[in-house]
Structure 1
Amino acid sequence: MSSPPTPARAPSFAEFVALVAVMIALTALSIDVMLVALPDIAASYGVTTANDRQLIITLYMAGFAVGQILSGPLSDRYGRRPVLFVGLVVMAVAALLAALAPSFQLLLAARFLQGLGASAPRVLAVAVVRDRYAGREMSRVMSFAIMIFVVVPVLAPSVGGAVLHLGPWPWIFALMGLGAVATLVWAALRLPETHPPERRVPLSATRLTGIVLEVVRCRRTLGYTVAAGFLFGGVLAYVSSAQQLFVDLYDLGALFPLMFGGVAVVMGVASLVNSRLVMQLGMRRVSHVGLVLYLGVWLLGGVLGFPAQPPLPLLVLMLAAAFFFSGLAMPNCNALAMEPLGHVAGTASSFIGFFTSALAALVGWMVGQAFDGTVRPLLVGFAAVGVSALLAVLQTERWRLALFHTPADGTARG
């Protein structure tokens, strides 16, 4: 796999952050833009069980998780750019196959393939940032990128709704394919290779096994990966259930995209806040405070008795608060997990991404499939997610949280 020619001039900091954000945002686009179309897709294929619609999201995430095992090691061997380009091509082709799928089963297969391709831009976004930055600067860059990335779930359902007004639901998959192609062109023209030939390493089972063991044995990497997986699982459970929640239960109809986007925007605000706080307080302290407050929101739901259908304003307030605190914790959990492994950033990003996404897909599927026409399973599920993430961090930090002091983030592997 030969490396394509590298652009002569590197992008500015702002353009680099924007491109990284778009690479990450393709995953959200491939999920959120189609939420409004789930009932139409189900009707087209005669899918009668409402919760089966969630498989369109879950199978995509399963492919996304599996693909990450391949993307990182291949990019460490052949460079970031060629692997990124192959992934974007797979995304575009899979979107076309999904648009033309003659059965629901083949649509799900295309979604799995689409997730497989989407793993490359997501893994390599983290890898190229780690190639260029470390520590708090890395977290700052990721926070800016995630802030831009959150605009996608804010706008995507409305964009999907607009597409449905113009044509049938396969047009939404055509839009996903165009997004992948546009990103491919931008990266080909403007993204330099951040992993030069002298740093590349051959693929071997021994080396890959060694890196997996390094990831698993690194206390900080494993603990914060698990915490990020649970938090991401909570987000995925919400996304996969949102259409049923707001349309079927609260009967919001055409207001669903506005409500969904309003809840999502707080994660963008949290990322902006995090980009400022992390430089002053450090990744540990910001992530720990975010985790504790996230759990506190859902424990409040427990105090209220995990109601079956709380007033909509109260539910939206709880969701917004929880996702704000999750937006403080997740970027720092990811950065803390990656920090000790800069020497194998591509492969490490792959395996960390696989563990995070696989755990998130499992958690999101379990919580989402528990949806019974009421809010209660989601509230209980979110509380369980918060407890699990906090326990993972407590175990990692030897049962001490950085709530009132600011330890150095460091790069130790222990």
Structure 2
Amino acid sequence: MLTLTSIWTTVLLAAAVALGPLATDMYLPALPQIGSDFGTGTDQVQLTLSLYMAGFAIAQLICGPLADRFGRKPIMIGGFVLFALASIGCALATNIETLILCRFLQALGGSAGPVLGRAAIRDIYTPREAAKILAILASIMALAPAIAPTIGGFLVTGLGWSSIFLALGGYALVMAVVVAFGIPEPMRPENRQTLKLCSLLRNYRKIGTDVSFLGYTLTNALTFSGLFAFLSGSSFVLIDFLGVAPEHFGLYFALMVAGFVTGNLFAVRLGSMLVPDQILVRGLVIAVAGGSLMAGLALSEVYNVWAVILPQALFMVGTGMVLPQTMAGAMANFPRMAGSASALFGFVQMALAAGAGMLVGHLHDGTSLVMAVVIATCACAALASYLLLVQRHPAAGFEPQGVSAQ
């Protein structure tokens, strides 16, 4: 079994966390085909994505406290098994309602990986170290969305969309075995929390009323919502509107992921020269520039693949710089409640992202305009959240003017 601080432990945690983006990105090329097979519109098909995110958000509020009580590993393993069973249900679905239900159940299990992966990093490292490790983890994890749409495109073309869910179920079972036998329990016994309802509510109240936590969480969630707006609308824009073949969708998607990895690498490199606050504001400015450029081109009726992909790649450079800093900052003040803090953080992130996705699906006009405007709006709102909350209330032990969290 690996040591907690081993780079391979980080790699395995990244692989566990990657189940989340795999479950959303791998089947993006299949969305138009699913709609055609079930005879449903864009808004109904998009619900398989948005309700997945809603279930993901709700489940984190449950698995976080459970992990604070029983440890990270058993909850993560149970989540992977549930995800695998729900994936089989998705593959066997014969109508859109069944698929939506199984996607929701899939989300309940899939939430364990990301929420407990973040908590494990906070268990192992200090807040400043965690920002660097999360950036490294995000870079490794970015391999999933880089290759997932390409794999999904070939699967849907060669074997049909149900094969995508069978592949996801197999991956989840492999990760259950890897976590069980490859990673030590990262949570210290003395940090275990009670499951009494009054204690849980008291913990969530303490976390949710911390202005620093709210600032980092909202900045992260709004930036992530811009990313999810792209995930929700990109297959319809690129495949249906701009004529990209499903098997080629992933190639364009990989350029966006390359932007995200570039932002992660910038964050890691700048971590030794700048404080997290300086990295964060630079990332937000880049994200606003990318979102505004895409919206400006769409408003000018410039409709082609590069008018979507290149601005989104720029947005993703900023996102890759923002997300690790805000994740680490949100949990910096709560070393003894990392599971609950990560759960509430994830709930807000996924709830806002689901809302952005539903907005794109509901207002989609057959062009890239709605998607682009939502991305730009989310980026600007994230910058406003930083200026109004994070800049005024940085996390203690994370920014230099703070004191190390105990």
Q: For the superposition of Structure 1 and Structure 2, which TM-score range results when normalised by the shorter chain?
A: over 0.9
Residues 339-354 of structure 1: pairs in structure 2 closer than 5 A: 339-354=332-347
Question: 2:34 aligned with 1:41, yes or no?
Answer: yes
Question: 2:47 aligned with 1:55, yes or no?
Answer: yes
Deviation at 1:268, TM superposition (A): 1.4
Deviation at 1:314, TM superposition (A): 3.4
Q: Distance in 1 between matches of 2:145 and 2:185?
A: 29
Deviation at 1:164, TM superposition (A): 2.7
Structure 1 residues 378 and 134, CA gap change in structure 2 (3 angstroms): same
Unaligned residue ranges in structure 1 (runs of 5+): 1-6
Report the 3-state secondary structure (helix = DSSP H, G, I; strand = E; otherwise coil) of the residue aligned with 2:367: coil
Contact 2:122–2:338, Cα closer than 8 Å, also in 1: yes
Q: Distance in 2 between matches of 1:297 and 1:107?
A: 34
Q: Distance in 2 between matches of 1:302 and 1:183?
A: 39
| Residue equivalent to 2:388 | 395
> Structure 2 length as normaliser, TM-score?
0.93
Greater mean deviation of Cα atoms: 65-74 or 201-210? 201-210
Deviation at 1:412, TM superposition (A): 7.1
> What is the letter of the counterpart of residue 176 of structure 1?
L
Deviation at 1:157, TM superposition (A): 1.2
Contact 1:136–1:279, Cα closer than 8 Å, also in 2: no
| Residue equivalent to 1:245 | 237
Contact 1:147–1:268, Cα closer than 8 Å, also in 2: yes
| Residue equivalent to 1:4 | none
Q: Deviations over 1:33-92 (max 9, x none)?
A: 111111222222221x12322111111111110110011100111111111111011100
> What is the letter of the counterpart of residue 142 of structure 1?
L
Q: Distance in 1 between matches of 2:27 and 2:298?
A: 33
> What is the letter of the counterpart of residue 154 of structure 1?
A
Contact 1:212–1:351, Cα closer than 8 Å, also in 2: yes
1:135 is aligned, of 102, 120, 127, to 127
Deviation at 1:409, TM superposition (A): 6.3
Residues 3-402 of structure 1: pairs in structure 2 closer than 5 A: 7=1, 9-10=2-3, 13-47=6-40, 49-253=41-245, 254-301=247-294, 306-397=299-390
Structure 1 residues 399 and 195, CA gap change in structure 2 (3 angstroms): closer
Contact 1:123–1:346, Cα closer than 8 Å, also in 2: yes
Deviation at 1:383, TM superposition (A): 1.8
Contact 1:283–1:409, Cα closer than 8 Å, also in 2: no
Contact 2:331–2:341, Cα closer than 8 Å, also in 1: yes
Q: Distance in 2 between matches of 1:10 and 1:398?
A: 36
Deviation at 1:121, TM superposition (A): 0.9
Q: Give RMSD over aligned pairs.
A: 2.1
Q: Deviations over 1:282-306 (max 9, x none)?
A: 2111011111221133334566572
Q: Distance in 2 between matches of 1:346 and 1:155?
A: 29
Deviation at 1:398, TM superposition (A): 5.6
> Structure 1 length as normaliser, TM-score?
0.92
Q: Deviations over 1:155-205 (max 9, x none)?
A: 111111222344222111110000101111111111101113332121112
Q: Distance in 2 between matches of 1:387 and 1:12?
A: 37
Deviation at 1:219, TM superposition (A): 1.1
Q: Distance in 1 between matches of 2:82 and 2:98?
A: 16
Q: Distance in 2 between matches of 1:400 and 1:169?
A: 47
| Residue equivalent to 1:3 | none
Q: Deviations over 1:246-271 (max 9, x none)?
A: 11121121422211122122101211
Q: Distance in 2 between matches of 1:303 and 1:209?
A: 44
Q: Distance in 1 between matches of 2:155 and 2:138?
A: 25
Report the 3-state secondary structure (helix = DSSP H, G, I; strand = E; otherwise coil) of the residue aligned with 1:109: helix
> What is the letter of the counterpart of residue 279 of structure 1?
S
Deviation at 1:11, TM superposition (A): 5.7
Structure 1 residues 233 and 368, CA gap change in structure 2 (3 angstroms): farther
Q: Percent identity?
A: 31
Contact 2:294–2:307, Cα closer than 8 Å, also in 1: no
